[in-house]
């Protein structure tokens, strides 16, 4: 007989008495890592309090504490995601991406590291950094850039250049609409 989903030492044991794995017939609720056979999670470091939903494919990456990885997200090897960061469903986070703390990653955000595909030489791939407190709108495409802290990327934007701290950008290619209060060029 297969071990109970949360049996100590089983492949489903999440080691969290305060956040037990759900019974196998309840796949619709938030869950901790590693939990069930509807997730492909290999060689990841995942902080306490972080919830990973079903149908997530993540490998060789690090996620901090109290974060959330939504349904149908893929996180590739070497990616680092900070604390209290929320990655909404259907997002793809490729190698060479670093995401800070308190970041909101909307639904279906696509990160890019290979700007001239297919480029098999990985040393030609480029990195992306997302600053603390930034917000990436749904369906945005993030080319290899640095998005500043507390910046906002509009829905559907294609971000081709670095985004300054506190800037609100939108469009294809993304342009600065305005800055949040307290940010922007010094007058």
Ligand X SMILES: CC(C)(COP(=O)(O)OP(=O)(O)OC[C@H]1O[C@@H](n2cnc3c(N)ncnc32)[C@H](O)[C@@H]1OP(=O)(O)O)[C@@H](O)C(=O)NCCC(=O)NCCS
Residue with Cβ nearer ligand X (34 or 137): 137
Measured from the CB atom, the residue of 33 and 104 that comes closer to ligand X is 104
- Of 97, 27, 84, nearest to 58 by C-alpha is 97
Residue ranges that bind ligand X, judged by CB under 6 A: 106, 137-138, 152, 154-156, 168, 170-171, 177
Beta carbons of 138 and 155 less than 8 angstroms apart: yes
Distances (CA, A) of 151 to 136, 168, 170: 8, 6, 11
Closer residue to ligand X in complex, CB, 100/108: 108
The nearer residue to ligand X, 101 or 138, going by C-beta atoms, is 138
- Minimum distance, C-beta of residue 155 to ligand X, in the bound complex (Å): 4
Backbone angles phi, psi at 80, to 5 degrees: -120, 130
Shortest Cβ distance from residue 154 to ligand X (Å)? Answer: 3
CB of 72 to ligand X, least distance (A): 16
The span from the CA of 67 to the CA of 73, in Å, is 14
Least Å from the CB of residue 103 to ligand X: 13
What CA–CA distance (Å, rounded) separates 26 from 30?
A: 10
Question: Taking Cα atoms as reference points, which of 155, 48, 163 lies closest to residue 105?
Answer: 155
């Amino acid at each position: 007989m297969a071990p109970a989903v949360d049996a100590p030492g089983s492949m489903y044991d999440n080691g969290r008495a305060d956040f037990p794995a759900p019974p196998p017939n309840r796949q619709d609720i938030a869950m901790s890592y590693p939990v069930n056979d509807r997730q492909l999670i290999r060689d990841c470091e995942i902080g306490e309090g972080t919830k990973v939903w079903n149908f997530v494919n993540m490998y060789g990456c690090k996620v901090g504490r109290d974060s959330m990885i939504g349904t149908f997200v893929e996180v590739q090897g070497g990616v680092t995601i900070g604390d209290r960061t929320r990655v909404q469903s259907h997002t793809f986070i490729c190698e060479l991406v670093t995401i800070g703390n308190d970041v909101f990653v909307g639904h279906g955000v696509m990160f890019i590291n290979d700007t001239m595909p297919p480029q098999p030489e990985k040393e030609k791939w480029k990195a992306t950094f997302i600053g603390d407190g930034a917000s990436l709108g749904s369906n945005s495409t993030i080319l290899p850039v640095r998005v500043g802290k507390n910046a906002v990327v509009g829905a559907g934007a294609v971000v081709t250049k670095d985004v300054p701290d506190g800037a609100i950008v939108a469009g294809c290619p993304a342009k600065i609409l305005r800055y949040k209060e307290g940010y922007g060029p010094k007058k």
